[in-house]
A and B are shown apart, each in its own frame.
Chain A
Amino acid sequence: MASLITCPHCGARPKEEFTVKSAALPRPSADAGEAVWFDHVYLRDNPRGAYEEYWHHTSGCRRWLVVSRNTATHEVADARDASEARP
């Protein structure tokens, strides 16, 4: 289990302090069209391996992070403030 997330502001904290939003994907342009937006909002690849997600440190600093983890091993490779890690 990816039980410890190293928040860049708070240090290593248990996953219970966080809320996971979803995959950190580049945002389509506003006029990209319904099909592209439907894909962006609802469709996920669910890959085995490296994955980037938005995690909110809800019970800590309350900053949004981009967490890079491996969905197969649950190893966390990186956690950055989302303001510095826009996909």
Chain B
Amino acid sequence: MAEMTTNRIPLTAPPTQAALADRAPVVREGVTLEALPEGTILHLLARPTQVAAPFADKVAAAGLDLRVVAPGQWFATAPTVMSGADLVVLSQALKPEVDVVDQSHGRVGIVLHGPLAARVLAKGTAVDLDPSAFPVGRSATTLVGHIAAHLTRVNAERFEIVVQRGFAGSLFDDLSQMSLEFARL
């Protein structure tokens, strides 16, 4: 029997069109909603007792932002596309601690930014977004409306949302509607 490869290198061509290619930025008074460029989203998986400390530097050195998903799970994201070769190198470097699954085509990023970003997002999630409970750098896996999503506060007024590709359009439209009360007249 042929030996099976253990590295999950993308086997298919990239999607021909970005999931949110037809969604223009939504600019409201005090909050803006935009699709993020489809760069790199890696799902890191380990035993639930694994901590980030032993491999966090390796992720940062590869130019990726490390975000907590769940016990033993993280996303490592970057706004640019990572080459297959670089992905193999990183996967092997992380192998002692975590397994890497490339989700760059499976998940899509959306950003909500501006002084009213938290006001809009709070309509859809039960996560307490007050800066004392959800400071910069904090992430949460939660529901936004009925859609499973992953939130990260990247700065005081900027939330990045990672969502499964097939739900991206619906979530974008939901967030657009949630921000309607701040529409420019």
**B93 within 8 Å of A (CB atoms):** no
- Per-residue CB contact flags for chain A residues 3-15 toward chain B (1 = under 8 Å, else 0) read 0100001111110
**B71 within 8 Å of A (CB atoms):** yes
Contact residues in B for A4 (Cβ distance below 8 Å) = 126
In the complex, which range does the number of interface residues on chain B fall in?
A: 10 to 19
The A12-64 residues at the B interface (CB cut-off 8 A) are 12-14, 16-17, 59-63
Contact residues in B for A81 (Cβ distance below 8 Å) = 48, 71
Contact residues in B for A61 (Cβ distance below 8 Å) = 69-71, 73, 141
Query: How many of chain A's residues have a CB under 8 angstroms from any CB in B?
Result: 16
Chain B residues at the A interface, C-beta cutoff of 8 Å: 48, 69-71, 73, 126-128, 133, 140-143, 148
12 A-B pairs besides A11-B133, A61-B141 with CB distance below 8 A are A11-B127, A13-B126, A59-B141, A59-B142, A59-B143, A60-B141, A61-B71, A61-B73, A63-B48, A63-B71, A81-B48, A81-B71
